[in-house]
Amino acid sequence: MDTTNFGPFLILLLMSRRMFVLATLMTLLQQMSGTPYSHGYSPAGTDCSGVASLVSNLATDRPVFGDRFNTGNEESALLARGFQYGTAPGALVIGWNGGHTAVTLPNGTPVSSGEGGGVRIGGGGAYQPQFTHHMYLPVDPEAPEDAPPPAPGPVLVDAVAPEPPAPPPPPALGPDPVEPVQNELPPPPDPAPAPDEPPPAT
């Protein structure tokens, strides 16, 4: 019986959502880094609220360049996406005021647009003193941030499961059976010597 080694797939399945979201965000932002500050909303460039919109969209499984918000309606837009008031370590944090907004990724990386140029990984991030509002998204709410990843279990390669044990015999119905008594006959006597032969000498 052939067996399959699911070990690598199991590790991928156990990888936390936080790591997946962070890797996806970093890939997108690296592709957009250096694009100009623009009131457009596309991979070719965007402004500060465009960056906050696309990051929060991606982190909440929405189309990346879907619904966009601005600093005037940012609070309600973030609430609709599951953000909570305040800040938290290991979370996606967005800070804003009436005219600017910026993001800090779960690993602490700041992301901005309009701080010394267009879209870039860097800048002051969500924790700038100018921001009077902060909201955060717990990226992996079911796992505590400080919890270590689960240790992988043993992986058996080419192992064959043992055969299941045979089922016990069914119980006897009625009274216990009586074992039959065997009658043993005594062995036959030695044959007597023939009459025409002399008896053996002693």
Helix H or strand E segment including 103: strand 101-104
Helix H or strand E segment including 85: strand 84-85
Two tokens, residue 14: 């156990």
Distance CA 159, CA 5 (A): 10
Class of the CATH domain delimited by 12-137: alpha beta
Region 42-61 average pLDDT: 94
Question: In this predicted model, which residue has the larger pLDDT, 83 or 138?
Answer: 83
Q: Quick one: pLDDT at residue 187?
A: 66
Within a 10 A sphere around the Cβ of 54, how many other Cβ atoms? 27
Which of 163, 186, 35, 88 is closest to 54 using CA atoms?
Answer: 35
Q: How do residues 127-181 score in pLDDT, each as one tens digit?
A: 999 999 999 998 754 444 443 333 333 434 444 545 666 677 766 665 655 555 5
Q: Quick one: pLDDT at residue 69?
A: 95
Q: Quick one: pLDDT at residue 19?
A: 72
pTM above 0.75, yes or no: no
The b/e string for 112-138 (b: 16+ C-beta within 10 A; e otherwise) is: bbbbeebbbbebbbbebeebebbbbbb
Within a 10 A sphere around the Cβ of 88, how many other Cβ atoms? 15
> What is the domain partition of the chain in residue ranges?
12-137
8 A C-beta contact, residue 11 and residue 152 = yes
* Burial (CB count within 10 angstroms: exposed 0-12, middle 13-18, buried 19+), residue 12: exposed
Within a 10 A sphere around the Cβ of 84, how many other Cβ atoms? 15
Q: Quick one: pLDDT at residue 53?
A: 96
Region 121-126 average pLDDT: 91
Mean pLDDT (the chain) is 77
Q: How do residues 92-110 score in pLDDT, each as one tens digit?
A: 999 999 999 999 999 899 9
Helix, strand or coil for residue 27? helix
Residue in the block written with tokens 């008896």: 199
